[in-house]
Structure 1
Amino acid sequence: MDLDTMLAVIRRGVPLAGEWGVELLEAADGRALLRLPADARLLRPGNTISGPALMGLADVAMWAALLSLTEGRDDSVTSTMTVNFLRPAGSGPVLAEARIVKRGKRMVFGEILLRAEGSEEPAVHVTTTWAVIAPGR
């Protein structure tokens, strides 16, 4: 599946990703790289991107990593998400790098690092577990 098609799947499944202008830069082999462009609507006091926006970006990035393994067909859902805010992400843009650590029959465990574009320092570290929804359920 090419990136444009996968991004269309993501934006249908998570319309907020489209509203925020989330970009899919890479997705293959259980990994994904997404970009959240600068958007004043997503800022909190202190001129940094809000926690809810960063958590949403991380969640979408994990789904993109899953979609890269399932040819764009995945109905798995977030079961848990642990978010560690390490430093302010700035006012944008932000990159999210997701990778699947373990994929089982019923659960998927992943990790996402978010950082300000142009920085190598992680701003947010996320671990997440997703429940696999079997086709036909």
Structure 2
Amino acid sequence: MNVAMQVDEIAAYLDEVFPQVRGDFVIEAVADRAVRVRMPVAERHLRPGGTVSGPAMFALADVSVYIAVLAMKGREALAVTTGGSFDFMRKPVAGVDLICECRLLKIGRVLAVGDCLIYSDGMEEPVARASMTYSMPPK
């Protein structure tokens, strides 16, 4: 399958249709059915105990799958999350960026299913794993 949008195009499109996440995520790479997205961890992402909060990690996975759908389908502003499963495996390093390696397991006419591994930058083992399902509006 051919990539429909590249990093710069997706970033500009997100600024246009989803400006509330501007600056929260950095698209590092786009490939066939795969993306790599960085979340610069800030104080607002931390929870008591000095670790990155679950909602912040969930947002990274969710946005990463959305970016992967955009990369493969093109401008699908109304693609929406219809399901998600999350496993927290290790404590992320506080103050260290999170990296999401996302691959689409299915990219169909109506549904896309993505699998995400989230790492603290520099760690070899993932801190979390997510599976997300997106639905595309009918044409």
2:58 paired residue number: 55
Cα separation, 1, equivalents of 2:60 and 2:81:
13
Task: Tell me the amino acid that sits aligned with residue 55 of structure 1.
Answer: F
Task: Tell me the amino acid that sits aligned with residue 7 of structure 1.
Answer: A
SS at match of 1:68: helix
1:88 Cα shift?
A: 1.3
How many equivalent pairs are there?
133
Identity of aligned residues (%): 30
Cα separation, 1, equivalents of 2:109 and 2:15:
26
Give per-residue Cα distances to partners, 1:5-55, cap 9 Å, x unaligned. 2112223333342152x1000012111100011211110011111111110
1:126 Cα shift?
A: 0.3
Cα separation, 1, equivalents of 2:66 and 2:93:
24
2:117 is the counterpart of 1:129: no
- Structure 1 unaligned blocks of 5 or more: none
Where in structure 2 are the equivalents of 1:1-137 lying within 5 Å?
A: 1-20=5-24, 22-71=25-74, 73-74=75-76, 75-91=78-94, 92-135=96-139
CA RMSD of superposed structures (Å): 1.5
Task: Tell me the amino acid that sits aligned with residue 21 of structure 2.
Answer: A
Cα separation, 2, equivalents of 1:17 and 1:114:
18
* 8 Å Cα contact 1:17/1:60 also seen in 2: no
**TM-score, scaled relative to structure 2:** 0.88
Q: 1:13 to 1:121 in 2, by over 3 A?
A: farther
* 8 Å Cα contact 2:61/2:116 also seen in 1: yes
